[in-house]
Each structure stands twice: as C-alpha cells, then as structure tokens.
Amino acid sequence: MHDLKWIRENPDALDAALARRGAAAVSATVLDLDKRHRATTTELQVLQSRRNDVSKQIGGVKAKGGDAAPLMAEVAEIKDKMTALEEEEKLLGEKVKSLLLTIPNILLPVVPDGRDESANVVVRSWGTPREFNFSPKEHADLGAALGLMDFDQAAIMSGARFVVLKGALARLERAIAQLMLDTHTTANGYTEVNPPLLVRDVALTGTGQLPKFGADLFQTTAGLYLIPTAEVSLTNLVAERILDGATLPLRMTAFTPCFRSEAGAAGRDTKGMIRNHQFEKVELVSITAPEESEAELERMTKCAEGILQKLELPYRVMALCAGDVGFGANRTYDLEVWLPGQNTYREISSCSNTGDFQARRMNARYRPSGETKGTRFVHTLNGSGLAVGRTLIAVLENHQQQDGSITVPAALKPYMGGLEIIAPGAKIL
C-alpha cells in the first residue's frame, strides 16, 4: 500500500511506475477521491468541534441549574448536518482505502524493463548441466518407474494436481527440507518458526494476496484461508507491532505445506509435481530497517542459492523484469534450476523485497534505536529457500542414472540414513 501523502506529491511518479508494469494510471482517481474525502472530513470536524464546545457548555449550565434548552437546540441542529456528512466521509474513506489496496508496489529503478518473463535478465549462473550418455527422463517418469510417486491414487482421493510420495521419495522430500532448515537456522542465522497454516483475511491483505488475488486461494467453510506460502504467516508475525530497532534485522524460516487453487493455470504443467495444489516449501522472511533491505535481498538470495549448491544442482539467477515482478514486490530475483528431463530451467525460488509495501498494509513499524519518539515502517522481504517439491524434482532429474536409479547427493546422505542410491524395485505399498 502506498502513502497517500506521497501520491499527492508525486502523482506522475505513481502513474509512471504503474506504466512500467503495464498497468493503467490511477493517480487522478485516487486524488479526486482523496480531495473529496478530506474536504468532507474537514467540514465534519468543524461541526464536531462546535458540538463538543456546546456540549461542554451544556454541562456547565446544567451544573449551575440554568436553562440549557437553547444550547441543546443548537446541538440538535448541528447533529442534523453531521449525519449526512458522516456517512459521506465514511464512504469516501473506504473508497480511497480499497482503491489503495489494489495498487501494486513501485518498482525500483534497477528493475529491467520488459513486458513478460522473456525479458528477464540472467544475473549469474552456477554449475554446468551434466552431460548424459542416455536420454534423461522427467521426474514423473522416474518417480513412477521407482514405484514411489503416485499421481493416480492421489487423483482418486483428491483429484488433479496432487501427488502421493512413498518410501524413499517421501523420505527424500523430508531430507531435503531438513537440510534446508538446518542450513538456514545455523549457517544463515534464521530462526525456525512453526506458524499457523490457516489465516484470516486480514493477514492475507497484509501481505497483498487480498483483495485482488482471492481466486488463487483455498478458503475454508469457517472463513479462514489456507496459506499459499509461509510468507503470509511469517511476515504477519510483525503485524501491528512496534519493534525495537536494535533487534533488526529479524530473520525467520518455516517449513510448511502451501496451498494454491491454481485458478488461472488450467492446462499448464499438468504432468508431474511442478504445479500442485499442495506442496511443501521452506520459506525465508526478513524484517529490516529501510536502508538495509536492498543488501538483505542479496543476502537472502545467496542463502537460497547455497542450498542448490549443496545439492549440486545447476541454476541461474534471474532479475525479473518490470512486467514479471509480483504485485507486492519492488524487485525480485528468481532462481531457476536446471531440469535435464525437461531440458530447461524452471523456477525453484523467488526472492523479493517489498520495501514498506506490506509493512504499511499490516502496520508493522519499528522505533529506530536511540530515538524515543517516532516510528517508521519496517521493510519486509521474502524468498523461497527453497520450494521443496521442485527441489525433489531437480534432485531426481539431475542425479538420475541410466537404470532409473537416483544417486543421493552427498549433502542429503546423513538425512537419508546413509542411503546412497534410490533404486527401482523396492517392494512398496
């Protein structure tokens, strides 16, 4: 959400920023509503002031046993006028607020121009895609051949876009998550959190999924929503709080299931477990002072990259272009992992700085250390560190052998009880 004052002073900057995203200008509409809202507010406040005044006089007159009738008549008249104004004021205020909630964040100047993902820029890459002396298979085929990845049975109980992992693959997924959590909580300084998976609409409004993207979410009959990412739960850990500046930055990580309706993705990535309704992810969230957030984004991205390196998975870092950066972010790096079975790079992590965009929506502030007066909005960042399901895919495809077995990367062996090879033919279920 944007600062209204800033929009008043920089309407053209807002519209120009929206144009970079390919979005329509809104400043004129905002300013018109805001102007009418403030005019109404001022008018109302004059009446309120007068009413408070006269009411005090009535108290005084009555205390002395005088006749307050004329004064009461005056207040009655004032109140008449106030009723309509109050309604108007409230309505205009709500209109301004709801419009503000639909305006995306302003991109930083470093974000490359471009309309869609084809204009994203490769920042750096790591690792060399392995040379295969056979034709590498896709993860869904590998998993099925191992007998440990079952889409059919998942469909019977849950429908499309679900998967059942069994035996060594179920364990592999857990091992991957453990490696990530252990790395982030020790080497990278993040605090592990186990947050709620069901949240209220205010939490989702705070992080920006609502009000615009409700169609992507699963909502329960009780009105709560399943989180589409732990970013929601973790970032809301600072909602409505005033933090002590000395405690910043806060770094937290959580391993959670994520739920997405994939409403707009019919027909895309229908094979395999690339795009499921339910998947697991280790999320990273940082809360920083404003001047630290850009450096923190670099740091966070490096933390995510570290996991890919440990797993010996080639990847590249993409700077998303203006048209591809998400609603709440001012800048985003995607990590794309090499998938030999699909002969392409696929997104496995997305690290974003939202600046004070989310902080304003959830009223997350801090008091700069040393200062006793005044608060400022914090900056919030989030990144996948990494998407666990997609990491599993990458491990399968990159570490597959000609016979369909999977070599367990060294970093995962301790978490696999020393298992070195996941081989076909295990008797399972």
Partner RNA sequence: GGAGGGGUGGCCGAGUGGUUGAAGGCGCACGCCUGGAAAGUGUGUAUACGUCAAAAGCGUAUCGCGGGUUCGAAUCCCGCCCCCUCCGCCA
Residues that bind RNA (CB under 7 A): 4-5, 38, 41-42, 45-46, 48-49, 51-56, 58-60, 62-63, 72, 75-76, 79, 90, 242, 372-375
Q: What is the smallest separation between the CB atom of 238 and RNA, expressed in angstroms?
A: 15
Q: What is the smallest separation between the CB atom of 16 and RNA, expressed in angstroms?
A: 22
Nearer to RNA, 83 or 118 (CB): 83
Nearer to RNA, 137 or 365 (CB): 365
Beta bridge partners of 380: 287
Q: What is the smallest separation between the CB atom of 45 and RNA, expressed in angstroms?
A: 4
What token pair was written down for 342? Answer: 């699909």
Q: What is the smallest separation between the CB atom of 55 and RNA, expressed in angstroms?
A: 4
Nearer to RNA, 47 or 423 (CB): 47
| Rg, the chain, Cα only | 27
3-state secondary structure the chain: CCCHHHHHHCHHHHHHHHHHCCCCCCHHHHHHHHHHHHHHHHHHHHHHHHHHHHHHHHHHHHHCCCCCHHHHHHHHHHHHHHHHHHHHHHHHHHHHHHHHCCCCCCCCCCCCCCCCHHHCEEEEEECCCCCCCCCCCCHHHHHHHHCCEEHHHHHHHHCCCCCEECHHHHHHHHHHHHHHHHHHHCCCCCEECCCCCEECHHHHHHHCCCCCCHHHCCECCCCCEECCCHHHHHHHHHCCCEEEHHHCCEEEEEEEEEECCCHHHCCCCCCCCCCCCEEEEEEEEEEECHHHHHHHHHHHHHHHHHHHHHCCCCEEEEECCCCCCCCCCCEEEEEEEEECCCCEEEEEEEEEECCCHHHHHHCCEEECCCCCCCCEECEEEEEEEEEHHHHHHHHHHHCECCCCCEECCHHHHHHHCCCCEECCCCCCC
Q: What is the smallest separation between the CB atom of 59 and RNA, expressed in angstroms?
A: 3
Among 350, 352, 384, 405, which one carries the catalytic annotation? 350
Q: Is residue 397 among the annotated active site residues?
A: no
Among 347, 367, 376, 420, which one carries the catalytic annotation? 347
Q: What is the smallest separation between the CB atom of 326 and RNA, expressed in angstroms?
A: 26
Q: Half-sphere exposure of residue 353, counting CA atoms within 13 Å on the CB side?
A: 25
Nearer to RNA, 40 or 207 (CB): 40
Nearer to RNA, 61 or 119 (CB): 61
Q: Is residue 260 among the annotated active site residues?
A: yes
Q: Is residue 347 among the annotated active site residues?
A: yes
Nearer to RNA, 159 or 374 (CB): 374
Q: What is the smallest separation between the CB atom of 220 and RNA, expressed in angstroms?
A: 13
Q: Is residue 390 among the annotated active site residues?
A: yes
Q: Is residue 275 among the annotated active site residues?
A: yes
Among 275, 316, 367, 376, which one carries the catalytic annotation? 275
Judged on CB neighbours under 10 Å (0-12, 13-18, 19+), 119 is middle
Nearer to RNA, 72 or 193 (CB): 72
* Residues designated as active site: 260, 275, 347, 350, 390
